[in-house]
Amino acid sequence: MSLYTTSLFVHILGSFTFFSGIILEWGGLTQLKKATRSENVLLTLRWFRPLRTMQPTSGAAIILSGLYMSYAKWGFQAWIVVSLLTVLGLAATGRSVTGRRLARIGQTASKDTGEISEGLRKLLNDPVLYVSHNIRIGLVLAIIALMVFKPGPTGVALWMAGALLIALILRATTRR
């Protein structure tokens, strides 16, 4: 077993873990929209706790193993550079956009009791929370495509544009 093979294993494991976190987040966001009481909101926010360690750990595994594999075999081609930068962007937006909004939801829900207040409902229906998530799903799917097809610069641009199209389609089909 070579260092490259080990790095590939870590890279794939990190990718599965990262995508599992996105699926967990999707489930949590879906449940938050359905919540009718502030107590339900507080219980649902527990779904997001594992993400605090899952996403940074898996992101680091993806980036570090990806950097090694790039150095050892692939060089820094367009699909690799864009994928690495996108993973960094995913990490930043997940924490800064979703994390902050969920913290605000938790603070508001802990002050409420019983039926969800109008202010809490407004936070739960914040479109930025859902658009951000949909964009991240699209970007992860685009990264997977880049890893599989290893396109040149034009192909990279097309796949990234496709990621945004996927996000728009998800947003249009998941509105309520």
pLDDT of residue 168: 85
The whole-angstrom distance between residue 162's C-alpha and the CA centroid of its chain comes to 17
pLDDT of residue 8: 97
- Summary mean pLDDT of the chain: 93
Q: Which single residue is written with the structure tokens 């097309």?
A: 158
The whole-angstrom distance between residue 83's C-alpha and the CA centroid of its chain comes to 14
pTM of the model: 0.88
**pLDDT digits (tens), the chain, 176 positions:** 899 999 999 999 999 999 999 999 999 999 999 999 999 999 999 999 999 999 999 999 999 999 999 999 999 999 999 999 999 888 888 888 999 999 999 999 999 989 999 999 999 999 999 989 988 998 999 999 999 999 999 999 999 999 889 888 888 887 65
pLDDT of residue 175: 63
Range of the domain at 118: 3-174
Main-chain dihedrals φ then ψ at residue 75, nearest 5 degrees = 75, -175
The count of structural domains within the chain is 1
Give the Cα separation of 139 and 136 in Å (integer): 5
